[in-house]
Amino acid sequence: MFYSIIIPVYNNTAEDIKRCIGSFYRGNLIDFEIIIMDDGSTEECAYKIDTIIAEYPAVTVYHLSHGGAAKARNEGIKFAKGKYICFADADDVVTKQFLFDLSAIEQNGINYDVVYGLVNFIKKGSNIQESSQLYPLELQLIGNTEYRELYRHMFDLGSSIYKRKEGYVSRGPVARIVKREIAEKYLFNPNLVLGEDELWNLDLLEATKNLAVVYHIWYLYLENPLSTSRKPNLDFLGQHRDLLVSMLPYIERHKGSLEGVFANRVFESLYEIIQGVYLTLLKNKNIVDNIKEFNKMTNTYPYTIITYKYAKRGGGVKTLIKFVLLKTDCLLLAYKIKNIVLKR
């Protein structure tokens, strides 16, 4: 067995699950197993999973109590038999190019610890149109310079090397293959609800520098505007705080080189909090009270870590403007005004 594909499922539709699994069975190009980790779905969904997998060879399902995607992936790793592990989400698909490249990796005896591909987005419900042309595998070694750039990219997705017009290297767990012995050692943090996959990627980068990248689209995220996955709620505030605090040890280990991308990641979290909570869940609340609550939050740890030096190293005028707005307690107000203007 060369590849173990681990797919967490939690109350996904039968259509989603079948489309995801089916995307791996085009051309029989690779030697693989699929491990479905049912993360405590309803009985109806669990029955659908059992029915669907009967149609495919080399698919196994394990039914768990609900514990989140991180726990489901970790449990899946325990059952994996392949040399390499890769992950997929049940509402997405892999491309034919992914299968073609993985077949070439297998046949040519390539032995990198981690190989990255690119991801892209398409709207769910639209026709999935892939190029009929399959391109030869072109592995590019990630050297020291590219390694540092990839590490920074995992914070803010800002690298021109790893973010291209056709797609980008994700900071999620998908569109990469990882040697099983490394995946077994570096598991996902089950205590984080948000961003556990970002930290997992940083752990992989600290574990090995035997890395390569393939600049082909391997994975398609199917955007679903009705999805309840990671739907913002009032716990969203604590989830972002926990993620940012968990990132700080990585910043400390790379003193002087990551302050800027961490600042960008903080402002990304603040944007998601503003859009998902303060301008959505609390939209009927008095804006003055919202601003006071938001400013009270941003004047606490870890948001107070961001200094002018951090913002300046973040690169670009936008980061500095956000820093000034943050320190003058005007960031939420600025986004509120921006939203009003854009709606006109």
**Percentage of residues in the chain with pLDDT exceeding 90?**
82
Residue 229: pLDDT above 90? no
Residue 245: pLDDT above 90? yes
pLDDT tens string 187-219: 999 999 999 999 999 999 999 999 999 999 999
Determine the CATH number of domain 3-223.
3.90.550.10
Phi/psi for 211 (5° steps) reads: -125, 155
**Percentage of residues in the chain with pLDDT exceeding 70?**
97
Average pLDDT over residues 17-36: 92
pLDDT for res 228: 46
The pTM of the full predicted model, rounded to 2 decimals, is 0.94
Residue 256: pLDDT above 50? yes
- pLDDT confidence tier of residue 340, bands split at 50, 70 and 90: confident
pLDDT tens string 144-193: 999 999 999 999 998 999 999 899 999 999 999 999 999 999 999 999 99
Residue type, 268: E
pLDDT for res 130: 78
The answer to whether 157 and 171 have CB atoms below 8 angstroms apart is yes
Phi/psi for 123 (5° steps) reads: -75, 135
Residues in the chain: 344
3-state SS class at 155: helix
Which residues lie below 8 Å from residue 231, measured CB to CB, with a gap of 6+? none
pLDDT tens string 40-52: 999 999 999 999 9
Q: Is the dihedral of CA 129, 117, 32, 59 positive or negative?
A: negative
pLDDT for res 344: 61
Q: Are strands 93-94 and 211-223 parallel, antiparallel or unpaired?
A: antiparallel
Record the tokens describing residue 180, joined without a space.
């099983």
Domain map of the chain by residue range? 3-223, 236-343
pLDDT for res 127: 74
Average pLDDT over residues 112-137: 88
3-state SS class at 108: coil
The answer to whether 32 and 5 have CB atoms below 8 angstroms apart is yes
* Least confident segment among 74-88, 222-236, 293-307: 222-236
